[in-house]
Chain A
Amino acid sequence: QVQLQESGPGLVKPSETLSLTCTVSGGSISNYYWNWIRQPPGKGLEWIGYVYNSGSTIYSPSLKSRVAISVDTSTNQFSLNLSSVTAADTAVYYCARRGRTNAFDFWGQGTMVTVSS
């Protein structure tokens, strides 16, 4: 069974860079698209972007200027960097696998990131 686990700071200062890592276990990171999705408190889900195991990426246009997602196949991890954060970036951040069904079939437990000084 594939498992995903997010890790990273729970508090980030405004204007700084939010950095999270997702560790994939129980399966290979190869041949899938690995996604970051976030959910502000009390609100809906927002897709941030994905990385393929080759390193190719696609980002949401609304965040594209501030987002970078990378993958490290040697450690079965992929990472999110979101720069110049503001309070509007406060959210639970999930990593998720886009399966062969093109849906998000495995999710991490989520990590709450608060942007505050």
Chain B
Amino acid sequence: DIQMTQSPSSLSASVGDRVTITCRTSHIISRYLNWYQQKPGEVPKLLIYDTSKLQSGVPSRFSGSGSGTDFTLTISGLQPEDFATYYCQQSYSVPPYTFGQGTKLDIK
């Protein structure tokens, strides 16, 4: 299995801040890395696929980068609706598809 390690596990920030979440994989996965946002009691929502491609309808303040084993999700100019838990997921190798453990972003 490809192990996914996100850091930090939790993060406090203020509206308007720029935040970065990191995802490290145990094997090289090229650029097959996706990011999801999940708000409490809601369904995960696809934000970014293939490392840096924005899913339709996702605001441009979200961006992704990386390759190989190290990837980042950046939110530039945090909005109140961005406080949520974020998950990375690899789509390079199956089975199994694997997710990071999540990064909870809350308001400082």
Binding site for B on A (CB under 8 A): 35, 44-47, 49-50, 58-62, 64, 94, 98, 101-105, 107-110
Contacts and interface: CB of A to CB of B under 8 A. Distances in A.
Contacts of B59: none
Interface residues of B, number: 24
Nearest to B85: A44
B59 to A, nearest CB: 17
Contact of B44 (A46, A59, A102, A107): A107
Helix, strand, loop or mixed for chain B's interface? loop
Interface in B57-105: 87, 89, 91, 94-102
A107 B36 CA distance: 12
B19 to A, nearest CB: 19
Interface of B: 1, 32, 34, 36, 43-46, 49-50, 53, 55, 87, 89, 91, 94-102
Nearest to A92: B43
Contacts of A61: 1, 95-96
Contacts of B44: 45, 94, 104, 107
